[in-house]
Amino acid sequence: MNQDAEFYIGWQTETPPGFARAVRRFIIGLCLLVPVVAALIVVFQSGFSGATFEYGKKTTLEGTFSRSPVPFLSIHSGINAAGKPVLQKILLVGPGKFGFDATAKYKNLQNGALVTLTGFLIYHDGKTGMQVESIENQAITGNQQPITDKQQPVSSPVTLRGEITDPKCLLGVMKPGLGKPHRDCAVRCIAGGIPPVLKVANTAGETEYYLLAGPKGEPINNLLLEYVSDGVQLCGRLDPEGDWPVLYVDPANIRRINKGALNPGNTCN
Amino acid sequence: MSVIYDPVHWTPHKKTYDRLIAAFVFAYLALFCGLQLLLHPQITAETLVIRATGTLAYLMLHIILIIGPLCRLSPRFLPLLYNRRHLGVSMFLIALVHGIFNLVQFHSLGNVDPLLSLFTSNTQFGSLARFPFQSLGFFALVILFLMAATSHDFWLKNLSPPVWKALHMGVYAAYAMLVMHVMLGVVQLEKSPVLIALTGAGMFTVIGIHLAAAIRQSGKDQGSVRKKISGRDMETQQQAADSDQMFSGFVYACEVSDIADNRAKMLTISGEQIALFKYGNKLSAVHNLCKHQNGPLSEGKIIDGCITCPWHGYQYLPENGQSPPPFEEKVCTYDVRVLGTKIYVNPKPYPAGTPRPAALIAE
């Protein structure tokens, strides 16, 4: 028999003391447990980079436009210790999850054109990009000559291990801008024309970012979609100059590797 | 209980329950967001919303899932069950915010429709490591939506209790998908063993409490099983002879003294679950499952002359299994006989709401 004399009915006004006590204890337990859980989640998550997306804060830059292998704006950013001008490359992307070329009116922009460009800067780890909002051609004057830049890779073949993602999110539009949770977004960005980037980290914790293009500098975005956010090994010729090195790769030679093998070093030949 | 459509049939307990839900939600969001901004000021607003709502909804789902078995282990937790549907709807709304922010953040402003993107950006279903975990979250959200949208007695009545109950059992499918959503998603990025341990602890808590409740219920069910008797089981051959006609089809249930006044004993006879009530000098038997949400009537109590379900307070008259007017719920009734101090029940059910005379206990 041994049945409790107390009986709870939700629509009655009073809760029997034994029931109220049990519920109180449950709620107190939750009040103690939940903050601990919340704190553990926050404390033990990976954290976020100091990448910055200056959305809403427009910046205007003047420089030389180049389309291949990826859309860049080359600007002079001062003079180095030897008294020579320092060249900075700004990676150009479109709004949302689109590349620069997705905006129809930019497609006819000539390679080497001097332009004034307005947009939102995105920067992280010494790399800079810009979400372009408007662009104007400039007349070439005697003092303003287009910056000429070589277009071909210069190194012998190298092999790199890393993770493919999109540079727009990686530079600061999203945090984290890589990894499995970000995979679908990176796929959309790369499918939308934003050039793919290979993030490579070495054991010393140093990170480098390599923009990826085909052997002749052609876009290979759609060929890389299935590898996005995976650990991959890529072999190609490297143009290491400037602040945005470019790796010219044959997509047929991409190999998927365990992400645990990402850190041993830049080369694996 | 309500005989007319009423969006929320407010009671003081429901109001208190809802205030506690609101306080819990706001306290968690304030704490989580405050800690994030303090320890990780670089976080973006979108990621903050996604993580705060995702973890909160996931935590609330665990609480929702353990309330049921907790009440099976101790009825003293029943006040938590009383308004659980508001907790469920709140959890769904928070999960919906999480889902919408994810859809906007990861799939909008692209070259395909966001929903199309959700299902086409990653189609590597054959790989566990690369599995498209976001689709799991989407389907779990669909189940939670169906549950939230039908979390009202209007739908319970119109869908019928068995269909409604089956639909709401979908919460376990949703939970399984969400565990995989977390394990194949953010846990793949966040390698900390603490976060993996937290996810595991949540899962084992839910499974553990369900197992404990199932074991306890199984013990109760086994204790309630009664088998059909033969004449040899009767006290004397004479009694058997005298009662052959009167007790044909009846099964020994228990002693009169085994049931507390205004309480019941559960019996399982030939697979039929029966609640046998004693009130005053009377005994009546009705089907054990409440028509509302299959609550165990045998754990209820006679209040104001009515069998009262322990889960939500639905009531039935013991002698006909009908809810008192104007309510319309009905449960099956059974014949009860008393022989001395022994109670016998015929497990053949009468149609729901059929009046059966109560068996009288001799003074």
**Region class of A247: left (phi > 0), else alpha (psi between -120 and 50), else beta:** beta
Size of interface A-B (CB pairs under 8 A): 180
Mean pLDDT of A204-224: 93
How far is Cα B170 from Cα B177, in angstroms, rounded to an integer?
11
CA distances to A93, A109, B16 from A193, rounded to whole Å, are: 8, 16, 54
Predicted confidence at residue A213, as pLDDT, reads: 95
C-alpha A43/C-alpha A64 separation (Å) is: 45
* Mean pLDDT confidence for A125-144: 81
**B147 to each of A48, B19, B20, B107, B339, how far by Cα in Å?**
36, 22, 21, 26, 48
B249 shares its domain with B180: no
Q: Where in chain A is the domain with CATH 2.40.50.140?
A: 52-137
Instruction: Indicate the DSSP class of residue B151.
Output: -
Contact A100, A115 (CB under 8 A): no
Query: What distance in Å separates residue A255's CA from the closest CA in chain B?
Result: 15
Which residue has 């209820």 as its token pair? B300
Sorted by sequence, the CB contacts under 8 Å of residue B91 that are 6+ apart come out as: B57, B60, B61, B64, B144
Residues B54 and B141 reside in one and the same domain: yes
Q: Which residues contact B294 (CB under 8 A, 6 or more apart)?
A: B161, B165
Which residues of chain B have a CB within 8 Å of the CB of A6? Answer: 76
Q: Is B253 within a domain? A: yes
Point out the domain boundary residue: B172, B187, B220: B220
Peptide bond into A176 cis (omega under 30): yes
Lowest mean pLDDT among B196-210, B215-229, B254-268: B215-229
Q: Nearest to residue A164, comparing CAs of A72, A121, A226, A122?
A: A226
pLDDT exceeds 50 at position B52 = yes
The pLDDT, as a whole number, for residue B231 is 44
- Residue carrying the six token digits 């059929």: B354
A248: pLDDT strictly greater than 70:
yes
Enumerate residues 6+ apart whose C-beta is below 8 A from B108: A96, B114
Whether a cis peptide bond, with omega within 30° of 0, leads into A95 is no
| Residue where a domain stops, chosen among B220, B246, B272 | B220
Q: For chain A, say whether B36 makes contact (Cβ under 8 Å).
A: yes
Same domain, B113 and B45: yes
- Band of the pLDDT at A202, cuts 50, 70, 90? confident
* pLDDT above 70 as % of chain B: 93
Domain extent, residue B259, equals 231-360
B143 in the same domain as B283: no
Mean pLDDT of chain A: 88
Stated as kind and residue range, the H or E segment containing B277 is strand B272-279
Taking phi over 0 as left and psi of -120 to 50 as alpha, with beta for the rest, A23 belongs to alpha
Residues of B in contact with A47 (CB under 8 A): 39-40, 42
Q: Which residue of A has its CA nearest to B134?
A: A181
Chain A hits for B195, CB-CB cut-off 8 Å, are 40-41, 44-45
Minimum mean pLDDT among A67-81, A114-128, B80-94, B161-175: which range? A67-81
Q: Are residues B138 and B236 in the same domain?
A: no
Residue B267: pLDDT band (50, 70, 90) is very high
Is residue B291 in a domain? yes
Q: What is the CATH number of the domain that holds B276?
A: 2.102.10.10
Q: Is there a single domain that holds both residue B180 and residue B261?
A: no
**Cβ contact, residue pair A192, B110, below 8 Å:** yes
Contacts of A226 in chain B (CB under 8 A): 124
- Of A122-126, A152-156, A195-199, B111-115, minimum mean pLDDT range: A152-156
Q: Is the pLDDT of residue B238 over 60?
A: no
Judge whether A119 and A63 are in contact, CB under 8 Å: no
Return the pLDDT at B358.
96
Residue B51 domain-assigned (yes or no): yes
Axis crossing angle, helix B170-183 with helix B45-73, rounded to the nearest 10: 140
More confident residue, B104 or A3: B104
CATH topology of domain A52-137: OB fold (Dihydrolipoamide Acetyltransferase, E2P) (2.40.50)
Cα–Cα dist B191/A124, whole Å: 23
Is residue B307, in this structure, part of any structural domain at all?
yes
> Strand B263-269 vs strand B225-226: parallel, antiparallel, or unpaired?
parallel
Rg of chain B (C-alpha set): 26
User: Which tokens belong to B154?
Assistant: 């209007």
Query: Do B187 and B271 belong together in one domain?
Result: no
Question: A130-144, A198-212, B68-82: lowest mean pLDDT where?
Answer: A130-144
| Contact: A27, B20; criterion CB under 8 Å | yes
Range picked from A70-84, A108-122, A142-156, B229-243 for highest mean pLDDT: A108-122
pLDDT at residue B126 above 70?
yes
For chain B, the domain total comes to 2
Tell me: do B193 and B307 sit in the same domain: no
DSSP string covering B2-71: -SS--S----HHHHHHHHHHHHHHHHHHHHHHHHHHHH-TT--HHHHHHHHHHHHHHHHHHHHHHHHHHH
Q: What is the pLDDT of residues A17-31, one digit of tens each?
A: 999 999 999 999 999
Average pLDDT, chain B: 91
Dihedral, CA of residue B60, residue A12, residue B68 and residue B310, to nearest 10: -170
Nearest in space to B345 (alpha carbons), one of B244, B227, B221, B262: B227
A38 contacts in chain B (CB < 8 Å) = 28, 31-32, 35, 55
Chain B residue with the nearest C-alpha to that of A184: B121
| Cβ–Cβ gap A184/B118 under 8 Å | yes
B3 has a pLDDT exceeding 70: no
Q: Give the closest residue to B302 by CA, choosing from B271, B334, B335, B324.
A: B324
Q: Locate B209 and state its tokens.
A: 């409490």
B53 and B114 together in one domain: yes
The tokens 């999850």 sit on which residue? A97
Domain assignment of residue B176, yes or no:
yes
If phi over 0 gives left and psi between -120 and 50 gives alpha, with beta otherwise, what is residue A96? left
Residue with tokens 């709502």: B53
Mean pLDDT for the stretch of residues B264-289: 94
- Interfacial A residues in 119-178 facing B (CB < 8 Å): 174-176
**B123 shares a domain with B60:** yes
Cβ pair B47:A174 closer than 8 A: yes
The alpha-carbon radius of gyration of chain A (Å, integer) is 26
- Write the burial class of residue B362 (CB in 10 Å: 0-12 exposed, 13-18 middle, 19+ buried): exposed
Q: DSSP characters for A207-218?
A: EEEEEEE-TTS-
**Residue where one domain finishes, among candidates B163, B196, B220:** B220
How far apart (Å, rounded) are the C-alpha atoms in residues A120 and A116? 13
Dump pLDDT digits (tens) for A170-192.
Answer: 999 999 999 999 999 999 999 99
List beta partners, residue A135: A117
Confidence label for B241 from pLDDT (cuts 50, 70 and 90): very low
Task: Name the nearest CA neighbour of A34 among B82, B62, B182, B48.
Answer: B62
Task: Kindly state whether residue B7 falls inside one of the protein's structural domains.
Answer: no
| Direct distance between the N- and C-terminal alpha carbons of chain B, in angstroms, rounded to an integer | 37
Residues B213 and B334 in one domain: no
In this prediction, what percent of chain B has a pLDDT beyond 90? 76
| Residue B5 counted as domain residue | no
What confidence tens digit (pLDDT) does each residue in B156-202 have?
888 988 899 899 999 999 999 999 999 999 998 988 999 999 999 99
Q: B286 — contact with chain A (CB < 8 Å)?
A: no
- Please name the residues between 61 and 80 in chain B that touch chain A, using a CB distance below 8 Å: 63, 70, 74-80
Cα separation, B290 vs A9, in Å, equals 14
The architecture of the domain spanning A157-261 is: Beta Barrel (2.40)
CB-CB under 8 Å, A187 with B308: no
Q: Report the C-alpha gap between A8 and A123 in whole angstroms.
A: 61
What is the per-residue pLDDT for A268? 41
Q: Between residues 197 and 236 of chain A, which touch chain B (CB distance below 8 Å)? A: 226, 230
> CA B48, CA B105: separation in Å to the nearest integer?
12
- Name the strand (E) or helix (H) holding B115: helix B114-120
State the pLDDT at residue B222: 83
Nearest residue, CB atoms, A23 vs list B79, B190, B192: B79
B33 lies in the same domain as B69: yes
